Amino acid sequence: MLKDKCALVTGGNRGIGREIALKLGSLGAKVIVNYRKDEEGALEVVDTIVKNGGEALALKGDVSSYEEAEALIKKSKEAFNNIDILVNNAGITKDKLLLRMKEEDFDSVIDVNLKGTFNCIKHITPIMLKQKGGVIVNISSVIGLIGNAGQSNYAASKAGIIGITKSIAKELGGKSIRVNAVAPGFIKTDMTEVLSDEVKDRLKDSIPLKRLGEGKDVAEVVAFLCSEGASYITGQVINVDGGMVM
């Protein structure tokens, strides 16, 4: 379904990004697995894709740096000759109530989640324009829609991602570049591992489908948005949250 396409997944070494990279690889895309620190994880993802008959490459790069994002995209293009799909998945949290939140907590979350998304879109757009098409999927969060006490930095970054998604979708729609966002609810990864069992149980109770999500649940929707089946969908935010927000 994605044969001859090349996909760059930021933060593809673990968690949701890992599942997205594996899914796109299983559909025939050549996958660039970006990571910031965890080279071992990235190589494991590459290995799994290759063992299943696909092509993949791990590339290090901190997306919050304008220059590193530029180098990442340049190297990705050199590796597979084109980049058809960009999944802006890399993200961090630094949760604190506002009164305790330091300037650095706010800045670093905005830098990785929002500026990182901007950096990658900015550097990939000339390539996609030259190719006369492309697909961008940005991983937002339901927290960007509803807010959450203790996550004002994260909520702002994820709401910002929705703003950039809609704006760039309007700018680039006429050039056959589609831009959508996926807003996961609570997904079982390292990011949510810190929650106590009590909090997880309370969350499950409040979710209509009565379970936390899996990385695979998000990867399926990302894969659909990357596919031809979604060729008339742009500027949208798709919640993958078991019905948590409706």
Ligand X SMILES: NC(=O)c1ccc[n+]([C@@H]2O[C@H](COP(=O)([O-])OP(=O)(O)OC[C@H]3O[C@@H](n4cnc5c(N)ncnc54)[C@H](OP(=O)(O)O)[C@@H]3O)[C@@H](O)[C@H]2O)c1
Catalytic residue ranges: 154
Closest CA relative to residue 146, chosen from 154, 138, 135, 136: 154
According to CB under 6 A, which one of 5, 30, 36, 77 is a site residue for ligand X?
A: 36
Angle made by CA atoms 11, 154, 213, in degrees to the nearest 5: 60
Q: Residues in contact with ligand X, total (CB under 6 A)? A: 30
Judged by beta carbon, residue 62 or residue 84, the one nearer ligand X is: 62
Judged by beta carbon, residue 191 or residue 233, the one nearer ligand X is: 191
Q: CA–CA separation, 22 vs 113, rounded Å?
A: 22
Site for ligand X in 112-131 (CB under 6 A): 112, 116
- Position 207: which residue type? I
Site for ligand X in 132-171 (CB under 6 A): 139, 141
**Tokens in use for 36?**
């910031």
**Is there binding between residue 191 and ligand X (CB under 6 A)?**
yes
According to CB under 6 A, which one of 9, 25, 56, 64 is a site residue for ligand X?
A: 64
Angle between helices 116-131 and 66-80 (to 10 degrees): 30
**Is there binding between residue 76 and ligand X (CB under 6 A)?**
no
Q: Where are the alpha helices (DSSP H) in the chain?
A: 15-26, 39-51, 66-80, 103-109, 116-131, 143-146, 152-172, 190-193, 197-206, 215-226
**Is there binding between residue 37 and ligand X (CB under 6 A)?**
yes
Positions in the binding site for ligand X (CB under 6 A):
10-11, 13-17, 34-38, 62-64, 89-92, 112, 116, 139, 141, 184, 186-187, 189-192
